[in-house]
Structure 1
Amino acid sequence: MAAPGPVTPEAPFEPSQPPVIEGFGPTVYSTSESFKDKFIRKTRENPMVPIGCLGTAAALTYGLFCFHRGQSQRSQLMMRTRIAAQGFTVVAILAGLAVSSMRSRS
């Protein structure tokens, strides 16, 4: 059994700093952006995703409200509407990914 060679670290380990991994940068963008700025940028890139999320939340909220009031048929209709809104959101995400990949190729 061969003995391992001596390990010489290139830089001392700093727990307060992120690790340096060759080929990976800490951020994709050169400037750091706040949550609000990122949300606005992503909404402008694909506005259908937030619309689908709001539709899903609205159908869920109204469906639960109807369930609480005892309107079972309306509640079932709203739950089916919620599923359709979720499907719309997933399709919007996939379409946005397809469009952004086509833009990056150009």
Structure 2
Amino acid sequence: MATPDPVTPEAPFEPSHPPVIEGFSPSVYRNPEGFKEKFLRKTRENPLVPIGCLGTAAALTYGLYCFHRASQRSQLMMRTRIAAQGFTVAAILLGLAASALKSRS
């Protein structure tokens, strides 16, 4: 059996530069967006999700406060929290469906 020839790279590997792959550009985004910019963009795309999250947090906070005070309203607020979570999940799914339909057209 003959031994295969060793593969010699065309250019030496430099760890300071990304590898060159035909048809692939690793730095497409010149200015990566920060947390604030991404949050505002996502909120503009689907404003019902943050509203649902705030409603869930408010119902949970008030429900825990009522539970601490041994109020009968704590049970109602926990059920309200579940409804707000359902609203949030439905808003996420509707946003995904809308973005899928937008990308098709």
Tell me, yes or no, whether TM beats 0.5.
yes
Q: C-alpha distance in 1, partners of 2:39/2:78?
A: 28
Q: TM-score, normalised by structure 1?
A: 0.75
Q: C-alpha distance in 2, partners of 1:26/1:102?
A: 28
Q: C-alpha distance in 2, partners of 1:18/1:101?
A: 32
The structure with the largest alpha-carbon Rg is 2
Q: Which residue of 1 aligns with 2:50?
A: 50
Q: Could you say what secondary structure the match of 2:83 adopts? A: helix
Any stretches of 5+ residues in structure 2 without a counterpart?
Answer: none
Q: Which residue of 2 aligns with 1:32?
A: 32
Q: What is the one-letter code of the residue matched to 1:51? A: I
Q: Which residue of 1 aligns with 2:96?
A: 97
RMSD: 2.9
* Aligned length, in residue pairs: 102
Q: Which residue of 2 aligns with 1:85?
A: 84
Q: Deviation digits for residues 43-99 of structure 1, max 9, x if unmatched?
A: 00000000000000000000000000110x200000000000000000000000000
Any stretches of 5+ residues in structure 1 without a counterpart?
Answer: none
Q: C-alpha distance in 2, partners of 1:62/1:6?
A: 70
Q: Could you say what secondary structure the match of 2:33 adopts? A: coil
Q: Which residue of 2 aligns with 1:62?
A: 62
Q: C-alpha distance in 1, partners of 2:45/2:23?
A: 27
* Identity of matched residues, %: 75
Shift in CA distance, 66/34, structure 1 to aligned 2, threshold 3 Å: same
Q: C-alpha distance in 2, partners of 1:76/1:23?
A: 58
Structure 1 moving runs of 4+ over 2 Å:
5-14, 16-31
Q: What is the one-letter code of the residue matched to 1:103? A: K
Shift of 1:28: 7.2
Q: TM-score, normalised by structure 2?
A: 0.76
